[in-house]
Amino acid sequence: MLRETLVDRKKQEIGIELNPRMAKANSFAANKLSTMNKSTRFWDRAADSSGEGLGATSKKTVDLTLSLLQQQDIVLDFGCGPGNLSNAIAAQVKQVDGIDISGGMIATAQARAAKQNLGNMHFAQVDLFDEGLKPAYYDAVLAFNILHYLDELPAIANRIRSLLKPEGLFISATACLKEGLHPLRPLLFILSQFGIVPKMQFYTLQKLQNSLTSSGFSLVSVEKISALPEYFLVMKSNVSCQ
């Protein structure tokens, strides 16, 4: 069941319109329900131990993101987790809506936003495909450390493009675990296969880019931001595909 956990919803129009009568699984989520439930439980547990600070890679991600955004921008953070990156970005833009399937993560994110008095930061426990998300509403959609947990990338990309304004930006930071020989790669593969961590996709950078460009995005820039390797990828929604 979806839970509404929005901060100061009545004070400001936001890009999420939640209706209790709509609190049901959509067709995409229904097909993935057992996997989502298992993943949700993992992230709920992880929320209790998530720190408030930003590591070096997260700080770089925030800096690169802010260099692309304008003060008047409205932003969606997909898979926002405990809200650390969302909150760091919110102070520099008009509005950020953070969504996550984990109620534990959303509760943590909401508490941290309230602690920082961020009136333009809103959080909701909803899936990306929830019908309450407004189409063509966002100047940018962020997806940090989430795409490598998803195996329906074309559907995800198409949905994100539908939420963006014409020529809006899709900004992601993704571990491309099929590249390089990082020592964590085999460990993550084993943990993922045995269900100790949520199932992970081992993308190459090229496969990730191709999935997005085939869904109506054009490449703006790409930068390696960690040795994992993790890539900061900026895509623009093509007007002709809107």
Concatenated DSSP letters for 92-124?
TSSEEEEE-S-HHHHHHHHHHHHHTT-TTEEEE
State pLDDT tens for residues 72-84: 999 999 999 999 9
* pLDDT computed for residue 197 by the predictor: 72
Domain membership flag for residue 206: yes
Domain membership flag for residue 1: no
Domain membership flag for residue 96: yes
Mean of pLDDT over the chain: 82
* pLDDT computed for residue 30 by the predictor: 39
The domain total for the chain is 1
Domain membership flag for residue 161: yes
Domain membership flag for residue 2: no
* pLDDT computed for residue 199 by the predictor: 78
Task: For strands 74-78 and 230-237, give the pairing.
Answer: unpaired
pLDDT at 223 over 80: yes
Which has more confidence, 222 or 28?
A: 222
Domain membership flag for residue 66: yes
- For 155-188, give the DSSP string: HHHHHHHHHEEEEEEEEEEEE-TTSS--THHHHH
* pLDDT computed for residue 44 by the predictor: 60
| 137 band by pLDDT with thresholds 50, 70 and 90 | very high
State pLDDT tens for residues 13-38: 567 765 433 333 344 443 433 344 45
Q: What's the pTM value of the predicted model, to 2 decimals?
A: 0.82
Q: Taking the alpha carbons of 172, 176, 180, 181 in that order, is the dihedral positive or negative? A: positive
Domain membership flag for residue 128: yes
State pLDDT tens for residues 179-208: 877 777 777 777 777 676 777 888 999 999
Domain membership flag for residue 78: yes
* pLDDT computed for residue 4 by the predictor: 40
The percent of residues in the chain predicted with pLDDT above 70, rounded, is 77
Two structure tokens written together for 99: 């969504």
Which range of residues forms the domain containing residue 207?
Answer: 9-241
* pLDDT computed for residue 42 by the predictor: 59
Asked whether the beta carbons of 165 and 217 are under 8 A apart, the reply is no
Instruction: Identify the DSSP state of 12.
Output: S
CATH code: domain of residue 124: 3.40.50.150
